[in-house]
């Protein structure tokens, strides 16, 4: 599990248009890197919309928001358009980056166990070091919690 002070692992992932992005392109800015289970599900939608509604406040604090899930680019395209999300959402279908960041593991839903993405966020500084790790976040208050940490 990554912890405060660790260097954030590098990644190269596609956005909904197929453009590849890496963490290094955001050096000089803080990054909210949030992992979520699935596009357009109740909790994930709530979390994304909270980030959307507070987007300008994050921008004013020199902070970029990046969401990552294992959903494909087409799913992300629909999700972004449906909810007018102004921030970057990246696709990790192989869940390689999700695993590197410690957000992949055994999950449980209605008594069924499966492997999937945990709801988790990392706050990364301008030099690529982890400032804080948030696990088991509450989608409806998480954006405000992060803003207080900036």
Structure tokens at 128: 């690529």
Catalytic positions are 44
Closest CA to 48 of 93, 14, 16, 80: 80
- Cα–Cα separations (whole angstroms), residue 135 to 28, 39, 81, 121, 130: 25, 19, 27, 7, 14
How far apart CA 134 and CA 85 sit, in angstroms, is 22
CA distance 16 to 5: 31
């Amino acid at each position: 599990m990554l912890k405060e002070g660790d260097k954030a692992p590098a990644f190269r992932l596609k956005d909904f248009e197929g453009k590849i992005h890496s963490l290094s392109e955001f050096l000089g800015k803080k990054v909210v890197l949030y992992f979520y289970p699935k596009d357009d599900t109740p909790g994930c939608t709530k979390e994304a919309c909270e980030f959307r509604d507070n987007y300008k406040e994050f921008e004013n604090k020199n902070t970029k928001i990046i969401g990552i899930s294992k959903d494909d680019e087409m799913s992300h395209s629909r999700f972004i358009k449906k909810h007018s999300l102004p921030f970057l959402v990246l696709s990790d279908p192989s869940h390689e980056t999700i695993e590197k960041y410690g957000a992949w593991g055994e999950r449980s839903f209605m008594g069924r166990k499966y492997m999937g993405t945990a709801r988790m966020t990392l706050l990364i500084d301008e030099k690529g070091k982890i400032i804080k790790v948030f696990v088991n976040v509450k989608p409806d208050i998480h954006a405000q919690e992060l803003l207080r940490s900036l």
